[in-house]
Amino acid sequence: MNSRATVAVLGAGGTMGLPMARRIAEAGMEVRAWNRTREKAEPLAEHGIELSDTAAEAASGADVVLTILSDADAVTATMEGDVGGLAGADAGSTWLQMSTIGIEGIERCDRLAQEHDLVLVDAPVVGTKKPAEEGKLTVLASGPEEARARCEPIFDAVGQKAVWLGEAGTGTRMKLVINSWLLSLVEGLAETVAFAEGVDIDPAQFLETIAGSPVDNPYAQMKGQMMIERSFEPSFKLELAAKDARLVLEAMERHGLELAMLETIRAQLEEAAREHGEEDMAATYLASAPKQPAAR
């Protein structure tokens, strides 16, 4: 794909979509942006990005139609209908699906792509707001080999690493595996911080003690500090983490797996999200936190 190829970014006003659209434009590609709430995407106009009134308008004539939305229903609602992306997309163009939507969700997209003669590339990303802003996401790409050349300039713009994993759908399954590990880490950390407080150990001292050791983890240091300070400016919203946990559970059940810890993690995230869904996923700690932290 040449550097002036046209990319339609659908969901361009979101936490991930906004910086991704900006970085694609900065890499020299022509970007058309659409977002359901237009004002959220308006900052992109300062970067020379054209804002479209409908998803169909953005997709018309685009080499690549990129979806980056909250869930499978949002993706299909954006693509379907008289003003949806499928109505505007040219036959043979590439649908680059980068949202986290689960196995059933990517299967729905695959059926739609086949019905409209589009080339589906399944490429969810690993990373949150700051990596998206810095172009340091990890892209889990899967799809036809012939689509690589068209997609790689986009991956280079938004990511520090792109891994090609096989046929479409493989990227989504890998993302679910990574999410199962990540959610386990955050929920385990939340309960560790709560346990430390409950037994009169300063959790900051716990983080300091493990720092630089084989059991240390940069993500644990970052999220642990948020938990200790009870400061949850969203990098990745808790409600989306709970959604991701549900997708992991759906995949687990679909494949006949019984994984008790993942079931517990999903329940904890959903409980915390009922009150703190708009805050960072580290706010899952609040579901486990002692009502009265131990005195120091």
Going from N- to C-terminal start, the domains of the chain cover: 6-166, 173-287
Architecture of domain 6-166: 3-Layer(aba) Sandwich (3.40)
Query: pLDDT (tens digit, 9 = 90+) per residue, 57-69?
Result: 999 999 999 999 9
pTM: predicted TM-score of the whole model, two decimal places? 0.92
Burial label, 163 (beta-carbon count in 10 A; 0-12, 13-18, 19+): middle
DSSP-assigned beta bridge partners for residue 119: 94
CA trace torsion 87, 90, 92, 97 (10° rounding)? -50
Q: Which band of pLDDT confidence, cut at 50, 70 and 90, is reported for residue 291?
A: confident
CATH no. for 173-287: 1.10.1040.10
Query: pLDDT (tens digit, 9 = 90+) per residue, 34-52?
Result: 999 999 999 999 999 999 9
Query: pLDDT (tens digit, 9 = 90+) per residue, 214-235?
Result: 999 999 999 999 999 999 999 9
- Share the mean pLDDT of the chain: 95
Q: Average pLDDT, stretch 101-125?
A: 98
Angle in degrees, 0-180, between the axes of helices 102-115 and 170-198, rounded to the nearest 10 = 160
Q: Which band of pLDDT confidence, cut at 50, 70 and 90, is reported for residue 294?
A: very low
